[in-house]
């Protein structure tokens, strides 16, 4: 069961290399991603037995897949995101689209593997499998500055990957049993100094991925220059790899180091939240605005993880999912606008509410989800996150709370510039909304409100992870 | 009861969905009937719920758990008790009338926009009901931000106008500042008490768990929330700008209901507030200061809606004064009477604006008395009511607050008197300039002057009646009344305390307040009966006309510096410092690589040798213990 979740996109990706027709390949990918979605919903509801098979015998590394609450909610996010993305961007024309989609699905396979892997080497394998296709996607199909940007992105994340690999080997050498099972690493007896070393190695890898201030500058560039489908994958799902790493690796494996680093990391994250929010206020490029907004949201989650209060971590587990849904919605609207107007500059926009009311309504709805209005999904997560921060330190919560105000400022300014006012020359060109995108947005919106009004299923889904983390 | 209470709140939501989703399908007639009908249905059920409370006492119903985890439980529970049932009546009652009024007022809109308007209005009622029905602070907060959303959407309803959008954003952001305070108060309660349900927070057991510093902090933070929503110093400047919205919206949201949410919140939590002398003093001082500041500004405004907006800010200030001196009943009383007469005044203003073809400047009005007889008469009643002249409703509620203020500290009373005088003055200045004297508009406008259609005059008449007689629910004892409202709210705010003032003193205070009001009215009518104020060009008049330059002050002290900071972070720190460092590192590596390139020989063997050496070097540098040996040991075993 668990293996099939990963294999479906993987095999489809290989298959697509031989299907030249753009439309057909999109349809096949949609079917494949729908199948993954169906299976992962099943797994989320009913659970699935672990998959355990020898892999690299020499190293005693295994294909060990395990789905706990954390894995389930991220698998669900991944498998919801991909069909939505394919649906929304299906009509965008690209050269050699079948290869584009193939690489996209390869990334999906990698992401799902990352979230399910219980073996460190397998984890690393999937981590790279998720990243490498993205380099190609950006450098081949990206915007005009793509080469330089992708290079930076590549160096940055590759540096992180290497650190992580070193960390994995380091842990392996210190673990009590000669295998790579992540859960066994927890039994490794490390001196505080060793723990710190390992912690730093992993932390840098994850911090780059999320990204955490000040390691974030690759991200707005990469989001801006990538084709939107790739941007969506990166910001909805891929950044969660970093947070996932914190929950799966840093907190359980290096509790002492994580605790002593807590104050620094929380402070740094919160500074990053405000920093990114301020910069978002001054953006004119709609994609960059969303990118900085996303950096702020992710920073908040990371702060709550290191604050390490049950209530805040609970919030993060929910928010991992909700943030993905919301940011997807924003990207989709931005993509429709960019595809038809050819610009991302908000100065050139305006009047969408008059020209395309439906699209404007969707934009406004996602904008308010982005600023965590109650009864949207993000409120639940952020409410708990702030509670956790408050228990950690009331002043940190108050300071981070300023982002609640700042996010309202930049998000509503965006809405005003894009949706309101008289119809601009650029907006005049938006003559239709493709049905796929519209449906994808509506489905996401239903999720936004459903999980905002009744989030309990998400709590139930992630309860076991929380218990593992806090009941010792 | 569970079904009835559920329906009270679900009808408006149904209306929102019906008109929101079907905005392109329905005719204007259907939209109007549906939107108004849903609210009337809610009103009827609210009456029923109210009577039920009268008969059997408070009811709490549970629907489902919003959050239910090991550490925190937040249920979606609704409570209908003495306090919330009153608010239900006001919200759905005044709400129904304003929906009815809107059906005519918004007639010029095309069907999809007409539907959008009513969808927003319905959604507002839903959120407002959520706010007052919730049985815990989180549900209240949901409604709290929900009404903020609707306020934002309705202020910016005419979205092609950039200024209106700016006003909408200003309203939302200023409210968010307050909301942050509210949120922090909630977090504080969660940390200290582990619960946010009223039934658990407002108990002796909980109060003993909180230190007096906790209580002061929580109540002050809650009050920050109230400052935002109820437009108190320093967060009041959004409300006058909010007049950009359609006039019925100003009546419903920015006068009768939403802006009184802060008073509701504090009354609801009166047990906490009564335990903090410090917070109460702060509330009283902010309240009276706001009342006076806004009143001075109202004196010099020439936009009919702006006068009413500042008047609203000022009246809210009085309500907070009441809360600050512990006169919770008085504050709620004033919320109710104010809802009637201020909704009336705004709708009257709407009727005038409608007749004048969207002219809002009172300098260009005058003499409308004969052309708009119903509007004139009802507006006059509203003015008398707000001026505090007996036996109209405003007198009773304002008097109750001021009497309580006198008991607490006579200075509050005297300041309140000054404000009351100004209120009577600016209201009758508005009245006289608009309705008396000669018409000063264009011939074209004069030609088209007409009384509004019946859908607009019926709400005016009904609200006028309510404004005139609503005082009966709180007639004080010395006038031979029983103060029904005081008895009604006993379960919420405790028994009405015995006044320490003698009857003679009370009569005297009343006498002072009424005579001040009457004198102010006479002065205003004498001055403005024939002419309007021009735009003052110097002195105090100019300062007041420009609203004490508070907007300019905020702009210079807060908005612009923050904007500069953001620009600095973006253009200097982000671009040059952080990304500069990253790129600099990259350049250095490239430079190094160029030197090392010389070592390239093209022979694969060398590359592999270098690679292996570097990896070993890396390991040696990083792990100075026996890591490597152990690694190979493990591999081979």
pLDDT digits (tens, 9 = 90+) for B190-238: 999 999 999 899 988 888 898 999 999 999 999 999 999 999 999 999 9
Nearest neighbour of A217 by CB, restricted to B69, B578, B625: B578
Residues of chain B contacting residue A155, judged by C-beta atoms under 8 Å apart = 586
What are B324's two structure tokens?
A: 């600050």
Give, for A61, the enclosing helix (H) or strand (E): strand A61-65
Residues of chain B contacting residue A471, judged by C-beta atoms under 8 Å apart = none
Query: Is A471 in contact with A348 (CB distance < 8 Å)?
Result: no
DSSP A134-145: HHHHHHHHS-TT
* Residue numbers of A between 224 and 263 with CB closer than 8 Å to B: none
Nearest neighbour of B159 by CB, restricted to A275, A311, A420: A420
Residues β-bridged to residue B441? none
How high is the pLDDT of residue B475?
A: 85
Per-residue pLDDT band at B611 (split at 50, 70, 90): low
| Residue B589 pLDDT > 80 | no
Q: Which residue of B has its CA nearest to A193?
A: B623
Pairwise CB contact (< 8 Å): A463 & B69: yes
- Is B591 found in the same domain as B456? no
How high is the pLDDT of residue A179?
A: 81
* Residue numbers of A between 361 and 390 with CB closer than 8 Å to B: 368, 373-375, 380, 383-384, 386-387, 390
Residues of chain B contacting residue A194, judged by C-beta atoms under 8 Å apart = 625
How high is the pLDDT of residue B185?
A: 96
Nearest neighbour of B184 by CB, restricted to A357, A373, A401: A401
Residues of chain A contacting residue B65, judged by C-beta atoms under 8 Å apart = 456
Place of tokens 């408070």: B58
Before B391, cis peptide (omega within 30)?
yes
Nearest neighbour of B623 by CB, restricted to A155, A170, A384: A170
Q: Which of A224, A383, A404 to mutate to test the interface with B (most CBs of B within 10 A)?
A: A383
Measure A35 CA to nearest chain B CA, in Å.
Answer: 31
Q: Which residue of A has its CA nearest to B579?
A: A217
- Is B235 found in the same domain as B319? yes
What are B598's two structure tokens?
A: 């010389």
Q: Rounded to whole angstroms, how far apart are CA atoms A17 and A98?
A: 6
Establish if A456 touches chain B: CB-CB under 8 angstroms: yes
Measure B620 CA to nearest chain A CA, in Å.
Answer: 12
Q: Which residue of B has its CA nearest to A380?
A: B67
- Annotate B384-409 with b (16+ C-beta within 10 A) or e (fewer): bbbbbbbebbbbbbbbbbbbbbbbbe
Pairwise CB contact (< 8 Å): B145 & A373: yes
- Is B111 found in the same domain as B101? yes
How high is the pLDDT of residue A221?
A: 87
Establish if A196 touches chain B: CB-CB under 8 angstroms: no
Pairwise CB contact (< 8 Å): B569 & A278: yes
Per-residue pLDDT band at B83 (split at 50, 70, 90): very high
* Residue numbers of A between 281 and 300 with CB closer than 8 Å to B: 281-283
Cβ contacts of residue B35 below 8 Å, gap of 6+? B15, B19, B99, B103, B118, B119, B121, B122
Pairwise CB contact (< 8 Å): A279 & B569: yes
| Cβ pairs bridging A and B (under 8 Å) | 154
Pairwise CB contact (< 8 Å): A281 & B173: no
Nearest neighbour of B156 by CB, restricted to A314, A420, A422: A420
In whole angstroms, how large is the CA radius of gyration of chain A?
21
Residues of chain A contacting residue B631, judged by C-beta atoms under 8 Å apart = 169, 172-173
Percent of chain B at pLDDT above 90? Answer: 65
Pairwise CB contact (< 8 Å): A394 & B187: yes
Q: Which residue of B has its CA nearest to A59?
A: B635
Q: What is the pLDDT of residues B270-310, one digit of tens each?
A: 999 999 999 999 999 999 999 999 999 999 999 999 999 99
ipTM: 0.94
- Is B330 found in the same domain as B319? yes
Pairwise CB contact (< 8 Å): B152 & A169: no
- Write the CA distances from B387 to A197, A455, B265, B281, B468, integer angstroms: 74, 49, 26, 26, 12
Establish if A400 touches chain B: CB-CB under 8 angstroms: no
The predicted model scores a pTM of 0.93
Q: Rounded to whole angstroms, how far apart are CA atoms B240 and B250?
A: 10
Determine how β-strand B59-68 pairs with β-strand A51-56: unpaired
- Is B636 found in the same domain as B490? no
- Is B575 found in the same domain as B437? no
Per-residue pLDDT band at B131 (split at 50, 70, 90): very high
Q: What is the pLDDT of residues B160-183, one digit of tens each?
A: 998 999 999 999 999 999 999 999
| Residue B626 pLDDT > 60 | no
Q: Which residue of B has its CA nearest to A398?
A: B184
Establish if A159 touches chain B: CB-CB under 8 angstroms: no
Place of tokens 């943030």: A323
Q: Is B355 helix (H, G, I), strand (E, B) or coil?
A: helix
- Is B561 found in the same domain as B529? no
Pairwise CB contact (< 8 Å): A408 & B172: yes
Q: Which residue of B has its CA nearest to A414?
A: B169
Establish if A56 touches chain B: CB-CB under 8 angstroms: no
Query: Is A48 in contact with A1 (CB distance < 8 Å)?
Result: yes
How high is the pLDDT of residue B536?
A: 82
Establish if A454 touches chain B: CB-CB under 8 angstroms: yes
Locate the DSSP E strands across B51-99: 59-68, 73-80
Burial class of residue B89, CB neighbours in 10 A (0-12, 13-18, 19+) = middle
Measure A420 CA to nearest chain B CA, in Å.
Answer: 5
Structural domain count of chain B: 4
Pairwise CB contact (< 8 Å): B565 & A278: yes
- Is B552 found in the same domain as B463? no
Domain containing B227 equals 136-545
Give the mean model confidence (pLDDT) for residues B346-374: 90
Q: pLDDT: is A271 or B576 the higher one? A: A271
Give the mean model confidence (pLDDT) for residues B33-45: 95
Which of B43, B44, B40, B34 minimizes the C-alpha distance to B14? Answer: B34
- Is B410 found in the same domain as B342? yes
Q: Is A119 helix (H, G, I), strand (E, B) or coil?
A: strand
Per-residue pLDDT band at B462 (split at 50, 70, 90): very high
Q: Is B158 helix (H, G, I), strand (E, B) or coil?
A: coil
Q: If phi over 0 gives left and psi between -120 and 50 gives alpha, with beta otherwise, what is residue A19?
A: beta
Lowest-confidence region among B117-121, B535-539, B613-617: B613-617
Establish if A463 touches chain B: CB-CB under 8 angstroms: yes
pLDDT < 50 stretches in chain A: none
- Is B141 found in the same domain as B109? no
- Is B261 found in the same domain as B169? yes
Each domain of chain A, given as residue ranges in start order, spans 263-472
Q: Which of A145, A173, A456 to mutate to test the interface with B (most CBs of B within 10 A)?
A: A173
How high is the pLDDT of residue B628?
A: 58
- Is B154 found in the same domain as B75? no
Residues of chain B contacting residue A408, judged by C-beta atoms under 8 Å apart = 172-173, 176
Before A412, cis peptide (omega within 30)?
no
Helices (H), A90-217: 97-116, 120-141, 146-174, 182-185, 192-209
Q: Rounded to whole angstroms, how far apart are CA atoms B223 and B317?
A: 13
Query: Is A9 in contact with A106 (CB distance < 8 Å)?
Result: yes
Establish if A181 touches chain B: CB-CB under 8 angstroms: no
Nearest neighbour of A282 by CB, restricted to B72, B567, B637: B567
What are A309's two structure tokens?
A: 């209060």
């Amino acid at each position: 069961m668990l293996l099939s979740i990963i294999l479906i996109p993987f095999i489809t990706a290989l298959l697509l290399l031989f299907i030249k027709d753009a439309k057909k390949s999109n349809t096949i990918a949609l079917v494949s991603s729908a199948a993954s979605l169906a299976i992962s919903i099943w797994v989320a509801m009913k659970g699935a037995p672990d998959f355990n098979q020898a892999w690299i015998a020499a190293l005693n590394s295994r294909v060990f897949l395990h789905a706990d609450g954390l894995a389930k909610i991220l698998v669900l996010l991944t498998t919801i995101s991909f069909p939505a993305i394919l649906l929304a961007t299906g009509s965008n024309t690209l050269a050699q689209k079948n290869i584009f989609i193939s690489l996209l699905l390869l990334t999906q396979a990698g992401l799902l593997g990352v979230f399910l892997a219980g073996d460190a080497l397998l984890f690393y394998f999937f981590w790279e499998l998720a990243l490498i296709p993205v380099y190609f996607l950006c450098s081949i199909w990206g915007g005009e500055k793509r080469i330089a940007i992708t290079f930076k992105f590549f160096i940055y994340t590759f540096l992180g990957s290497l650190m992580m690999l070193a960390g994995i080997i380091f842990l392996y050498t210190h673990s009590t049993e000669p295998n790579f099972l992540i859960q066994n690493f927890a039994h490794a007896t490390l001196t505080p100094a060793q723990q710190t070393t390992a912690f730093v190695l992993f932390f840098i890898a994850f911090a780059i991925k999320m990204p955490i201030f000040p390691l974030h500058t690759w991200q707005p560039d990469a989001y801006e220059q990538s084709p939107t489908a790739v941007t969506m994958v990166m910001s909805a799902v891929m950044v969660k790899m970093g947070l996932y790493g914190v929950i799966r690796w840093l907190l359980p494996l290096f509790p002492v180091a994580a605790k002593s680093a807590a104050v620094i990391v929380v402070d740094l994250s919160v500074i990053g939240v405000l920093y990114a929010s301020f910069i978002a206020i001054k953006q004119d490029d709609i994609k960059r605005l969303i990118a900085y907004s996303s950096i702020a949201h992710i920073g908040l989650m990371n702060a709550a993880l290191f604050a390490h209060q049950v209530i805040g971590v609970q919030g993060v587990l929910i928010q991992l999912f909700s943030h993905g849904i919301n940011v997807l919605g924003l990207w989709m609207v931005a993509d429709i606008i960019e595809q038809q107007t050819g610009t991302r500059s908000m100065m050139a926009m305006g009047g969408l509410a008059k020209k395309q009311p439906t699209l404007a309504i969707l934009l406004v709805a996602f904008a308010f989800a982005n600023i965590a209005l109650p009864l949207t999904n993000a409120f639940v997560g952020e409410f708990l996150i702030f509670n956790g921060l408050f228990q950690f330190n009331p002043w940190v919560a108050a300071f981070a709370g300023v982002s609640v105000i700042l996010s309202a400022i930049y998000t509503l300014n965006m809405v005003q510039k894009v949706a309101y006012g008289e119809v601009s020359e650029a907006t005049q060109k938006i003559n239709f909304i493709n049905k796929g995108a519209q449906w994808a947005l509506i489905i996401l919106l239903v999720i936004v409100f459903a999980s905002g009004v009744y989030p309990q299923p998400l709590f139930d889904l992630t309860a076991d992870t929380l218990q593992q983390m806090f009941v010792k | 009861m569970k079904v009835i209470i559920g329906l009270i709140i679900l009808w408006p939501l149904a209306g929102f969905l019906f008109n929101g989703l079907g905005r392109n399908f329905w005719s204007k007639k259907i939209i109007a009937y549906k939107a108004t009908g849903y609210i009337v249905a809610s009103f009827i059920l609210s009456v029923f719920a109210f009577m039920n409370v009268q008969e059997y006492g408070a009811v709490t119903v549970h629907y489902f758990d919003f959050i239910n985890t090991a550490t925190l439980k937040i249920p979606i529970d609704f409570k209908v008790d003495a306090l919330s049932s009153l608010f239900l009546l006001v919200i759905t009652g005044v709400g129904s009338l304003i929906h009815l009024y809107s059906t005519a007022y918004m007639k010029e809109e095309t069907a999809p926009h007409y539907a959008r308007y009513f969808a927003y209005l319905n959604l507002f009622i839903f959120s407002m009901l959520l706010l007052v029905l919730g049985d815990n602070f989180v549900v209240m907060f949901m409604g709290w931000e929900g009404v903020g959303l609707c306020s934002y959407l309705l202020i910016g309803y005419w979205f092609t106008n950039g200024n209106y959008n700016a006003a909408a954003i200003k309203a939302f952001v200023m409210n968010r500042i307050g909301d942050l305070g509210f949120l922090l108060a909630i977090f504080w309660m969660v940390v200290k008490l582990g619960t946010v349900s009223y039934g658990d927070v407002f108990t002796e057991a909980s109060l003993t768990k909180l230190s007096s510093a906790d209580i002061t902090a929580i109540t002050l933070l809650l009050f920050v929330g109230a400052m935002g929503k109820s437009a108190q110093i320093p967060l009041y400047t959004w409300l006058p700008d909010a007049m950009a919205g359609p006039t019925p919206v100003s009546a419903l949201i920015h006068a009768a209901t939403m802006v009184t949410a802060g008073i509701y919140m504090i009354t609801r939590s009166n047990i906490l507030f009564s335990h903090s002398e410090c917070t109460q003093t702060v509330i009283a001082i902010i309240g009276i200061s706001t009342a006076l500041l806004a009143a001075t500004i109202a004196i010099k405004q020439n936009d009919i809606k702006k006068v009413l907006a500042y008047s609203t800010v000022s009246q809210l200030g009085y309500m907070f004064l009441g809360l600050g001196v512990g006169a919770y009943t008085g504050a709620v009383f004033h919320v109710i009477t104010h809802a009637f007469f201020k909704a009336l005044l705004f709708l009257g203003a709407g009727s005038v604006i409608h007749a004048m073809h969207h002219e809002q400047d009172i300098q260009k009005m005058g003499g409308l008395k004969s052309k708009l007889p119903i509007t004139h008469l009802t507006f006059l009643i509203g003015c008398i009511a707000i001026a505090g002249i007996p036996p109209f409703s405003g007198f009773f509620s304002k008097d109750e607050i001021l009497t309580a203020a006198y008991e607490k500290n006579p200075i509050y009373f005297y300041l309140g008197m000054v404000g009351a005088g100004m209120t009577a003055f600016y209201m009758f200045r508005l009245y006289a300039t608009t309705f008396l004297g000669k018409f000063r508009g264009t011939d074209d406008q004069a030609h088209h002057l007409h009384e509004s259609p019946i859908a607009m005059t019926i709400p005016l008449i009904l609200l006028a009646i309510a404004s005139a007689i609503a005082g009966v629910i709180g007639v004080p004892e010395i006038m031979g009344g029983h103060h029904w409202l005081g008895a009604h709210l006993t379960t919420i705010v405790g028994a009405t305390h015995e006044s320490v003032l003698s009857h003679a003193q009370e009569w005297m205070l009343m006498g002072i307040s009424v005579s001040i009001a009457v004198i102010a009215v006479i002065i205003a009518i004498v001055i403005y009966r024939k002419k309007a104020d021009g735009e003052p060009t110097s002195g105090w008049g100019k300062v007041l006309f420009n609203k004490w330059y508070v907007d300019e002050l905020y702009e210079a002290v807060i908005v612009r510096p923050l904007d500069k900071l953001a620009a600095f972070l973006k253009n200097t720190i982000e671009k040059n410092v952080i990304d500069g460092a990253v790129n600099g590192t990259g350049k250095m590596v490239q430079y190094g690589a160029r030197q090392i390139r010389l070592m390239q020989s093209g022979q694969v063997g060398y590359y592999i040798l270098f690679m292996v050496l570097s990896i070993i070097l890396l390991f040696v540098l990083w792990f100075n213990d026996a890591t490597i040996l152990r690694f190979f040991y493990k591999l081979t075993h």
